[in-house]
Amino acid sequence: MIDGQTKALKQVEEVNATVDFLKAKTSINPQVAIVLGSGLGNFADVLKDKFSLDYSDIPGFLECSVQGHQGQLHFGKIGNVEVVLMQGRFHFYEGYKLDQVVFPIKVFAQMGCEQLILTNAAGGIHTSYAQGQLVLIQDHINLTGQNPLVGKNIEKFGPRFPDMTYTYNPTINELFIQQAKELNIDLKTGIYAGVLGPTYETPAEVRMLKTLGADLVGMSTVPEAIIGHHMGMKVTGISCVTNMAAGISKIELKHEDIKDVANKVMADFSSLVEKTIENKFPTRHT
């Protein structure tokens, strides 16, 4: 049985090995890491000077088993900003260990990424939302019953007890809000409840989530946001409301429909993320 210290050291070695592997493959030195949610994968097309790798060729990366998640890592540029982009993410409900789910985020932080943009498909709870609404995450409620920081803390990654007041960076959020105004895109704000899945919620659970103060619900993002914030990255979360959550609307939920809605808001989503990075993001601290 391996003890906590050995496990932590092994993890640092694995992260560093993947960082070295990626650095040897590309001269792109990413400042921004982006994770694309279900149906939002086509955003990868906006990258210039793109260099792509299959997850299956990257040490420590897993297979993407979810339909609508492609399983490629792309390096490239948006304007003058160098980015790394995950087309497809790993979810805890796929049966992976949480350590494995957040492994890429640790790699991005160790590569020197300063900003992390997490995107997802989510169910809308707030009644001012409708299908296709884009929502900037202001805060989350972790209802997964899990935390990726459980275990021996790796001090060089971040503190044992991280403050979570500004998990979603207010300064960066403001840049997205400004850019949305300039593009005439309706970007709302909201609180994201992170659940385990893979079942969608029952109507009773959605009523509970509403009572708890959640505006959106989804099965990703929270573990990644925790790790990104722990490791000092400025985190942003953008949800695409692909459906109103169970019971809020009487329509039964199907993953196929969810991908279709995300595809329809792609144009707004893409220009918002692309233009915010290109026009508003701070340039790298050297």
Residue 92 near ligand HPA by CB under 6 A: no
Helix (H, G, I), strand (E, B) or coil at 18: helix
Residue 219 near ligand HPA by CB under 6 A: yes
CB of 248 to ligand HPA, least distance (A): 9
CA distance 211 to 203: 12
Q: Could you tell me which stretch among 28-36, 56-64, 109-117, 118-126 binds ligand HPA (CB under 6 A)?
A: 118-126
Nearest by Cα to 94 from 193, 223, 191? 223
- Say how many CA atoms lie within 13 Å of 210 toward its Cβ: 18
Both tokens of 265, joined, read 């808001």
Residue 219 or 265: which CB sits closer to ligand HPA?
219
Spatial contact of 110 and 239, defined as CB atoms under 8 Å apart: no
32: enclosing H helix or E strand: strand 32-36
CB of 144 to ligand HPA, least distance (A): 12
Residue 105 or 245: which CB sits closer to ligand HPA?
245
Spatial contact of 128 and 244, defined as CB atoms under 8 Å apart: no
Residue 31 or 242: which CB sits closer to ligand HPA?
242
CB of 130 to ligand HPA, least distance (A): 14
| Nearest-10 crossing angle of helices 170-183, 266-275 | 120
Please give the residues from 198 up to 217 whose contact with ligand HPA meets the rule CB under 6 A.
200-201, 217
Please give the residues from 241 up to 260 whose contact with ligand HPA meets the rule CB under 6 A.
242-243, 245, 253, 258
Nearest by Cα to 259 from 67, 125, 130, 45? 67
Query: Which single residue brings its beta carbon nearest to ligand HPA?
Result: 123
Q: Could you tell me which stretch among 45-53, 132-140, 226-234, 240-248 binds ligand HPA (CB under 6 A)?
A: 240-248
Number of residues that bind ligand HPA (CB under 6 A): 13
- Say how many CA atoms lie within 13 Å of 177 toward its Cβ: 12
Residue 118 near ligand HPA by CB under 6 A: no
Site residues (vs ligand HPA, CB under 6 A):
121-123, 200-201, 217-219, 242-243, 245, 253, 258
